[in-house]
Amino acid sequence: MLPALRRALSEMSIRMKTSRDVSDLAIFGNSPAFAEKLYVGRPNVGDTTKVLERIKEALDNRWLTNHGPLVQELERRIAKLLGVKHCIAMCNGTVALEILIRALELSGEVIIPSFTFVATAHALQWQEITPVFCDINPETHSIDPRRIEELITPRTSGIIGVHLWGRGCDVEQLSEIARNNSLKLIFDAAHAFACSHGGKMIGGFGEAEVFSFHATKCFNTFEGGAVVTNNDELAAKIRLMNNFGFAGYDNVIYIGTNGKMSEISAAMGLTGLDGLNDFISVNRRNYERYRSEFEGLPGVRLFPHDQAEEGNYHYVIAEIDEELVGVTRDLMMEILWAENVIARRYFYPGCHRMEPYRSLFPTAGGLLPKTEELTKRVLVLPTGTAVNEIQIAAICEIIRLVLCNAKEVTARLNSRHLSTPLTAAEPITSYARTGQ
Ligand SMILES: *Cc1c(COP(=O)(O)O)cnc(C)c1O
């Protein structure tokens, strides 16, 4: 270990030992720090009375779906917020991606990062388009433009950039590569609602961008999503495809599917938009608290949000470097789970190690060294309107205690019975609260 690092850790460990001892940790059989579980992605809920009022309005109108007045209002407000011409609201982000991919007639192969939620890959493979996984830049966690050109083949038709954690990916470089190689460029902006890139709101880049309004996202409509674009023709085509290809009462002019958002989702969305600034300021407060708690704690990197951009601060990402701190990310997660802090390791183990991609491309990992390293380091910590600053201080105290006493913690754990498997699967019922 570096001497400076060792010194810093031992100074902190002296400070910490006065308040808590390693033997206090719940993983050694003590009661957890939190009586109730703290989750990543617990939904932000705005003014409940207002949500119910809007739902009642829809019920009274007897207009529950099929591009009703609430969905229309939501689409107008989102388009205005993002400064785009068209917003087509949909039932979820995955279907929005699938429809956009189909509307653009992507085919053959499409280049995407492997470090993303698996839906980015599935939306392609579902329609028999091959996702080609590209490595990431470990600084930004986003697709590395320098690694794209070597992946382009005669079958390549497009690139999907993912604005991971709400931070815009390298839009300029990707646009240039797409232009030079006649590829279509779209963005999975599921994390990046109300975020900007280069001072411009995310939503207007590429051919189109896709948002998810899933319950775990910063802004939610229970389930929901949208395609936004400035392209009139593309928007018209997507609207048709979103509603079975109906161009009039009895007139189907295109193959389509059913991707419509319901009025009840739009009621939630409109109320969420009213509360969006409040959600974001809580997220920002929480993020700043984590940042100040982690300050000077070597070996842990908090993923930086660019203060010059609009951000939703919805994800607090800690990178735990085992080589520096002597504790694996997985061990840290296990310790936190014992304390009822349900931290998550998004997007472990990477899409390329999930089926069907693992079987289809068994050697993909060899081309993805940065992705493979990052998936071992990332730990997503609880934030959002369900988490307060006192809880954050307590979470950070546990992390600090472990890092400052890494050797002791590891030694004690090595001597205990290895009975329970590392990070037992959560019951499926908690999925909606724990997110993706
Ligand atoms: C959430 C998410 C999706 C899928 O959105 P759903 O609304 O859950 O279908 C796609 N891509 C990324 C990066 C996501 O985080």
Q: Does pLDDT of 8 surpass 70? A: no
What's residue 427's pLDDT?
40
In this predicted model, what pLDDT tens digit does every residue of 167-206 receive, in sequence order? 999 999 999 999 999 999 999 999 999 999 999 999 999 9
The verdict on the CB of residue 229 being under 6 Å from ligand 1 is no
SS3 208: strand
Q: Per residue in 14-48, pLDDT tens?
A: 333 334 789 899 999 999 999 999 999 999 999 99
The finding on whether 435 has its CB within 6 A of some atom of ligand 1 is: no
Q: Is the CB of 215 under 6 A from ligand 1?
A: no
**Residues 331 and 183 reside in one and the same domain:** no
pLDDT for position 144: 98
Same domain, 398 and 330: yes
Last-in-domain residue among 274, 294, 313: 274
Range with lowest mean pLDDT among 14-18, 57-61, 128-132, 376-380: 14-18
Task: Name the β-bridge partners of 90.
Answer: 225, 260
Choose among 79, 94, 388: nearest CA to 257.
94
> Is residue 310 situated within a structural domain?
yes
CA 225 to ligand 1: nearest atom: 7
Q: Do 166 and 284 belong together in one domain?
A: no
Domain that holds residue 178: 48-274
**Could you say which of 219, 242, 274 is where a domain stops?**
274
Q: What is the pLDDT of residue 415?
A: 81
Q: Is the pLDDT of residue 93 over 50?
A: yes
| Mean pLDDT over each residue of the chain, to the nearest integer | 92
**Could you tell which of 91, 117, 195 is best to mutate to test the pocket of ligand 1, judged by most ligand atoms within 8 Å of the CB?**
117
CA 96 to ligand 1 center in whole angstroms: 10
Q: Ligand 1: does its nearest atom lie under 6 Å from the Cβ of 267? A: no
Same domain, 227 and 333: no
Which pTM does this prediction carry? 0.91
Tell me how far apart the alpha carbons of residues 261 and 222 are, in angstroms, rounded to a whole number: 10
Is pLDDT above 80 for 160?
yes
What pLDDT sits at residue 277?
98
Query: What percent of the chain has a predicted confidence (pLDDT) above 70?
Result: 91
Q: 236 CA distance to ligand 1 centroid (A)?
A: 23
| Judgement on whether residues 256 and 305 belong to the same structural domain of the protein | no
Closest CA to ligand 1's atom 5: 93
Number of DSSP helices (H) and strands (E) in the chain, helices first: 15, 16
Q: What's the mean pLDDT in 70-90?
A: 98
Tokens representing residue 305 in the block: 């949000």
Check whether 81 has a pLDDT greater than 90: yes
Ligand 1 centroid to 178 CA: how many Å? 23
CA distance 371 to 138: 8
Ligand 1 lined by 214 (C-beta under 6 Å): yes
Query: Are 268 and 280 part of one and the same domain?
Result: no
Give me the number of domains the chain comprises.
Answer: 2
Tell me, in angstroms, the distance from the centre of ligand 1 to residue 241's CA: 20
- Check if 242 has its Cβ closer than 6 Å to any atom of ligand 1: no
Ligand 1 contacts CB of residue 378 (under 6 A)? no
